[in-house]
């Protein structure tokens, strides 16, 4: 970690305290390591998935298609923030810098995306059709 801080010293502009600046380097390095670990774990999980029975593959493909279809129905901003935050692991601050919006705007877009995805994918979880309003459906016992 200290090597990374030492290498980044030429970029230190003195606009913040040195400790804050060094902490940010450590946090960014940790976030990058977590993202790398998630990618590796995902690729290892994909390898293990090859040994699963064919029935599970068809169910998984149907689920993946449903999720992709629902994500495609999100507004472009909500879809971008959802993918960056929930899929790729970016923080709201990183998303805000990347997209030129505020962190609050990123949080708002993520909230809207998750709410719409819940509605669009309710049929997958509860056996409802996507256009059915859950409040008007009688509970199943």
Report DSSP letters for the chain, one per residue.
-HHHHHHHGGG--SSS-HHHHHHHHHHHHHHHHHHHHHHHHHHHHHHHHTTS-HHHHHHHHHHHHHHHHHHHTS-HHHHHHHIIIIIT---HHHHHHHHTS-HHHHHHHHHHHHHHHHHHTHHHHHS--TTS-GGGSPPP-
Instruction: Mark whether 113 and 67 lie in a shared domain.
Output: yes
Instruction: Mark whether 4 and 39 lie in a shared domain.
Output: yes
| 117 pLDDT tier (thresholds 50, 70, 90) | confident
Specify the CATH number for the domain of residue 62. Answer: 1.10.10.10
| Structural domain containing residue 87 | 55-131
Instruction: Mark whether 65 and 113 lie in a shared domain.
Output: yes
Instruction: Mark whether 29 and 61 lie in a shared domain.
Output: no
> Which residues, other chains included, contact 109 with Cβ-Cβ below 8 Å and sequence gap of 6+?
77, 78, 80, 81, 82, 101
Instruction: Mark whether 44 and 31 lie in a shared domain.
Output: yes
Angle between helices 103-120 and 54-72 (to 10 degrees): 130
Residue whose pair of structure tokens reads 């859950």 in the numeric block? 134
Task: Reply yes or no on whether the pLDDT at 132 is more than 50.
Answer: no
- How many Cβ atoms from other residues are within 10 Å of residue 80's Cβ? 18
Task: Reply yes or no on whether the pLDDT at 9 is more than 70.
Answer: yes
Taking residues 98-111, report their average pLDDT. 92
Counting the structural domains of the chain, the total is 2
pLDDT in tens, 26-41: 888 888 888 888 777 7
Residue 140 falls inside a structural domain? no
Instruction: Mark whether 28 and 88 lie in a shared domain.
Output: no
Enter the tokens of residue 79.
């879809």
pLDDT in tens, 50-81: 555 555 667 777 777 888 888 889 898 898 99
Instruction: Mark whether 43 and 62 lie in a shared domain.
Output: no
């Amino acid at each position: 970690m200290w090597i990374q801080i030492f290498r980044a010293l030429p970029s230190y502009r003195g606009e913040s305290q040195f400790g804050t600046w060094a902490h940010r380097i450590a946090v960014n390095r940790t976030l990058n390591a977590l993202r790398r670990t998630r990618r590796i774990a995902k690729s290892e999980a994909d390898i293990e998935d090859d040994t699963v029975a064919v029935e599970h593959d068809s169910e998984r493909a149907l689920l993946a298609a449903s999720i992709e279809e629902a994500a495609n129905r999100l507004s472009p901003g909500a879809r971008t923030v959802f993918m960056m935050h929930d899929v790729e692991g970016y923080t709201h601050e990183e998303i805000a810098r990347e997209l030129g919006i505020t962190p609050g705007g990123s949080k708002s877009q993520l909230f809207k995306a998750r709410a719409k995805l819940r509605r669009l994918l309710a049929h997958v979880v509860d056996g409802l059709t996507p256009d059915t309003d859950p409040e008007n459906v009688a509970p199943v016992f």
